[in-house]
C-alpha cells in the first residue's frame, strides 16, 4: 500500500513569489492535514480537508490556502512568499484517529 | 488554547538503558494520544497510539496514559543508538496537536 506522497520534495523561491505544494494521501484516506515545521515553532497546524471541505483551519494568514479534490489529493498554496515561510511543509493523511505523514516539502525562500 | 508540553531535551541515555519521555496536555476531554519519532531531516513516523488509561506495549516501546493527571509517557527499553531521534507527543483534539518534541540521544 503506497504511503502519503508529497511533491515536490525541495523548492527554492524568491520573496514575493507564490508556490503550490501537492499531497496524495494513502488510498482510502479522505482526511488530509497540512503542517508547517520550523526549528523554533515545531509542528504547527495549517488546515485540514475532508471530502473536499475545509474542516479546520490553524492560525495562519490568508496567504496560506488549500483545497482538496474529489480523489482526495490536496494542494496548498502560499502567495506573496516571505523569508519566514521557509520551512518543512508536511501533509498527513488520516483514517479514523491515526495520521500518517508524507516525506514533506522543504521550502526555502530567498 | 489547547496545548501539548514536552521537555525539549536532549535526553541522553547509554545504550541498553531505559529512556523515559514525558508529555502533558491541557484538555481533559482528549481521548486519543500518539507518539511519533522523527529522525533529523525526515518526516514524523507514528510509533504508538494509546486511547485508554494504563500501559500499552509494542516491542521495546511502552506508552503510558494517565488521564486524571493529563500525562502521557513513552518508555523505550534496551535503547539503541538507532533510537536517537526527536520524539513528538500528539493529542487529538478537533485537530492533531503536537508538542515541540524531545530529542533523545543514545550513546554506544
**Per-residue pLDDT tens digits for B5-34:** 998 889 999 999 999 999 999 988 889 999
3-state secondary structure chain A: CCCCEEECCEEEECCCCCEEEEEECCCCCCEEEEEEEECCCEEEEEEEEECCEEEEECCCCCCEEEEECCCCCEEEEECCCCHHHCEEEEEEEEECCEEEECCCEEEEEC
Predicted confidence at residue A40, as pLDDT, reads 83
Predicted confidence at residue A1, as pLDDT, reads 63
Predicted confidence at residue A2, as pLDDT, reads 77
Chain A, nearest residue to B96 by Cα? A45
Distance between the two ends of chain A, CA-based, in angstroms?
37
Question: Which residues of A are less than 8 Å from B42 in CB distance?
Answer: 103
Q: Mark yes or no for CB contact B98/A48 under 8 Å.
A: no
Predicted confidence at residue A3, as pLDDT, reads 93
pLDDT digits (tens, 9 = 90+) for B39-49: 999 999 999 99
Question: Which residues of B are less than 8 Å from A57 in CB distance?
Answer: none
Please state, in angstroms and rounded to a whole number, the distance separating the CA atoms of residues A66 and A78.
Answer: 9
pLDDT digits (tens, 9 = 90+) for A48-79: 999 999 999 999 999 999 999 999 999 999 99
Please state, in angstroms and rounded to a whole number, the distance separating the CA atoms of residues B103 and B31.
Answer: 25
On whether any CB of chain B is under 8 Å from the CB of A102, the answer is yes
Predicted confidence at residue A48, as pLDDT, reads 96
Task: Name the percent of chain A lying above pLDDT 70.
Answer: 99
pLDDT bucket at B94, cuts 50 / 70 / 90:
confident
Question: Which residues of B are less than 8 Å from A43 in CB distance?
Answer: 44, 88, 98
Chain B, window 22-81: residues with a beta carbon less than 8 angstroms from a chain A beta carbon:
32, 34, 36, 42-46, 49, 51
Q: Which of A43, A97, A104 lies nearest to residue B49, judging by beta carbons? A: A97
Predicted confidence at residue B77, as pLDDT, reads 98
Helix (H, G, I), strand (E, B) or coil at B26: coil
Task: Name the percent of chain A lying above pLDDT 90.
Answer: 93
Q: Which residues contact B46 (CB under 8 A, 6 or more apart)?
A: A98, A99, A100, B34, B35, B36
Q: Note whether A61 and A79 are within 8 A (CB).
A: no
Q: Mark yes or no for CB contact A33/B51 under 8 Å.
A: no
Predicted confidence at residue B17, as pLDDT, reads 98
On whether any CB of chain A is under 8 Å from the CB of B86, the answer is no
The per-residue pLDDT of chain A, averaged, comes to 95
Question: Which residues of B are less than 8 Å from A93 in CB distance?
Answer: none
pLDDT digits (tens, 9 = 90+) for A27-55: 999 999 999 999 888 999 999 999 999 99
Amino acid at each position: 500500500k503506497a504511503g502519503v506522497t508529497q511533491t515536490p520534495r525541495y523548492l527554492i523561491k524568491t520573496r514575493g513569489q507564490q508556490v503550490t505544494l501537492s499531497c496524495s494521501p494513502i488510498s482510502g484516506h479522505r482526511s488530509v492535514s497540512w503542517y508547517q515545521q520550523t526549528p523554533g515553532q515545531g509542528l504547527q497546524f495549517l488546515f485540514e480537508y475532508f471530502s473536499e471541505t475545509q474542516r479546520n483551519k490553524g492560525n495562519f494568514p490568508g496567504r496560506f490556502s488549500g483545497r482538496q479534490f474529489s480523489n482526495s489529493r490536496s494542494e496548498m498554496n502560499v502567495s506573496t512568499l516571505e523569508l519566514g515561510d521557509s520551512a518543512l511543509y508536511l501533509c498527513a493523511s488520516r483514517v479514523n484517529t491515526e495520521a500518517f505523514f508524507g516525506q514533506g516539502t522543504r521550502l526555502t525562500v530567498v | 488554547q489547547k496545548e501539548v508540553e514536552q521537555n525539549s531535551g536532549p535526553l541522553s541515555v547509554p545504550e541498553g538503558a531505559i529512556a523515559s519521555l514525558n508529555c502533558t496536555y491541557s484538555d481533559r476531554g482528549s481521548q486519543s494520544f500518539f507518539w511519533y519519532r522523527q529522525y533529523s531531516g525526515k518526516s514524523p513516523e507514528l510509533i504508538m497510539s494509546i486511547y485508554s488509561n494504563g500501559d500499552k506495549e509494542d516491542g521495546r516501546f511502552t506508552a503510558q496514559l494517565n488521564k486524571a493527571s493529563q500525562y502521557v509517557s513513552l518508555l523505550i527499553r534496551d535503547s539503541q543508538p538507532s533510537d536517537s531521534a526527536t520524539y513528538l507527543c500528539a493529542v487529538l483534539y478537533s485537530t492533531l496537536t503536537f508538542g515541540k518534541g524531545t530529542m533523545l540521544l543514545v550513546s554506544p
